[in-house]
Structure 1
Amino acid sequence: MADFMNLIRNENMKMFRRPRLFVMLGIIVGLVIVFSGVWFSVDKGESAMWEVVITETMFLYWIITIFAAIASASTVAEEFSSGTIKMLLIRPWSRSKILLSKYISSLLFALFFAVAFLASLMLVNWILFDLLGNGTVDRLSDVMGVSNIEYLFKYYGLLFLGTMMTVTISFMLSTVFRSSILAIATALFIEIVVNNFMQLLAFVKYKWIDYVLFVHLDLTKYVGGNEYNGMTLGFSLAVLGVYYVLFMVLTWYIFNKRDVAA
């Protein structure tokens, strides 16, 4: 177990020591500061902090998913494109352990950025805005029966589940392609183009569409606890669970069967 934890630590060091980490962090914090600053200048700080945080989460969180997809799509593919995969496989670890350590590191990378984004949102908007703004009414408590912070963390949790699925897809692509550029480009195409297009299919009245992966990646439509187009959160999680198992099995099969001699 200690050896495996060291393996995860080594993978984390690879991911967190790269210059792109600081570039991504700068973009995240910069976007939060700019959006919050513009909001503050428009309404002179009259909005409630929670209202700003929740709204900015809805509009800016996608960048976290994009960064997580880029990182996970390059994890394995970069080892092949740089030739370091041979050195990695001669060490006293099985291929499955190596792959699992990379996958866990990819999830931890996504979690780090999700937490960093939320922390910057809370800090910046706590400085600029009052907790409840001009009023003393917790709007979400009145409308949905939940507090602002409860709504935020439920919404954020559902967002991160979608991010985890995207990381899994990107990680699978990283094992399929030897080129990290090709893996990243495919992951971004799926996330930006295919995912958004497929979301529109949810409004088409065909039963088979209910089983398309991309229709279920956005789980925030269930944040109020209601059905959406006849589907429930449990159904969406079940569909995602089936795809998750398929992707992981395919990822492990390809990586364990791949010839690295060439």
Structure 2
Amino acid sequence: MKMYRRISSWILIAVLILLTIGVGLLLRYDSSSDNNEQWRNGLASKSKEIQEVLQKEQNIPQFQRTQMEKEMKIYQYRLDHNFGPSVWNGVKATSSLMSFVTLSAVVIAGGIVASEYNWGTIKLLLIRPQNRTKILLSKYIATMGYALLMIIILLSVSFITNGLLFGFQEMGQPYLYVAQNGTVQEGNMLVNILQTYGLSSVEMIMVVTFAFMMSVVFRSSALAIGLSLFIMFISQPLIQFLSKFSWVKYYLFANTNLSVYLEGTPLIPGMTLTFSLIVLAGYFLGFTFISWFVFKKRDVAA
């Protein structure tokens, strides 16, 4: 009730809707699906740019180089089979807005416990008949419920927006990926989109759980939000810099991007989906235990 009565919670949802529509409009403007020649030229230009980068830059990490080479193959396959822009391309492109969903959920998680201490309302909660574990769990579930609501809104608005912009006639277009033998294969687009959004949610869950823990431990929403976002945004450049070291595979954010296993390009050779899930489970249990232990033992009588 407290969360949804705040205007900031609805502002974040409104911004997400506007961003989703904006991404669809940008993709539509860039693709110009009414002009077959224009989107073909666009794909050819992107492929040429990637090829030039690969030739000039010799220090590109191997996993990133492999990904860029796969993109070129998919571009060429689309050109050969005349697979132009479709509603699914737009829905898949807006999966990048999962980072905004994560940011919004972090803002909620960072303040949902800390604000009780700042407002002095924590005592009013703890004198109720419910135990501390139930109170903490309810706040965590409420935070995840808000994140789930934003994901549903993102998918729904994206599908409607891109359907209106690109039309619904190309809904049977397949998902393209590069198999381990180096050839481009076709798959089910809807299944892949659900997998993409589902796997992207893993990073959101881990970052939000971390922010929730920081909110409980330090009782400061500013610190919880700021530190969580700082770690989230610095992680990818840091991982690329440290990718030459094998121990980086135990780092939290080296395992959160599970979509790499759909494409067969793990960050470190030898990493598997099972390994990443075990590492993530360890971090998750650690974050939740620290949150529960601190909240359970903290004295709020003073």
TM-score by length of 2: 0.76
The residue type paired with residue 247 of structure 2 is W
1:240-251 equivalences under 5 Å are 240-251=280-291
- CA shift for structure 1 position 201: 4.5
Distance, in Å, in 2 between the alignment partners of 1:87 and 1:240 is 35
Distance, in Å, in 2 between the alignment partners of 1:192 and 1:113 is 20
Distance, in Å, in 1 between the alignment partners of 2:226 and 2:173 is 46
1:166-177 equivalences under 5 Å are 166-177=207-218
Q: Is the 8 A contact 1:141 1:147 kept in 2?
A: no
Q: Can you give the 5+ residue segments of structure 2 that lack an aligned partner in the other structure?
A: 35-84, 179-183
The reply to whether residue 178 of structure 1 matches residue 212 of structure 2 is no
Distance, in Å, in 1 between the alignment partners of 2:173 and 2:212 is 44
Describe the shift of the 1:177–1:226 C-alpha distance in structure 2 as closer, same or farther (beyond 3 A): same
Distance, in Å, in 1 between the alignment partners of 2:204 and 2:301 is 34
The residue type paired with residue 54 of structure 1 is K
Q: Can you give the 5+ residue segments of structure 1 that lack an aligned partner in the other structure?
A: 1-12
- CA shift for structure 1 position 237: 0.6
Task: Give CA deviations for 1:190-236 in whole Å, capped at 9, x if unaligned.
Answer: 2222x2334325622x2321111121122221223564422111110
SS in 2 for 1:93: coil
Distance, in Å, in 2 between the alignment partners of 1:77 and 1:126 is 41
Aligned residues: 246
Distance, in Å, in 2 between the alignment partners of 1:252 and 1:141 is 42
Q: Is the 8 A contact 1:172 1:247 kept in 2?
A: yes
Q: Which moved more, 1:79-88 or 1:228-237?
A: 228-237
Q: CA RMSD in A?
A: 2.1
Q: Is the 8 A contact 1:95 1:256 kept in 2?
A: yes
SS in 2 for 1:140: strand
Q: Is the 8 A contact 2:239 2:248 kept in 1?
A: no
The residue type paired with residue 32 of structure 2 is K
Distance, in Å, in 1 between the alignment partners of 2:300 and 2:126 is 9
- In the other structure, the counterpart of 1:261 is 301
Distance, in Å, in 1 between the alignment partners of 2:290 and 2:140 is 14
Q: Which runs of 4+ in 1 moved over 6 A?
A: none
Q: Is the 8 A contact 1:45 1:130 kept in 2?
A: no
Describe the shift of the 1:162–1:124 C-alpha distance in structure 2 as closer, same or farther (beyond 3 A): same
- In the other structure, the counterpart of 2:87 is 49
TM-score by length of 1: 0.87
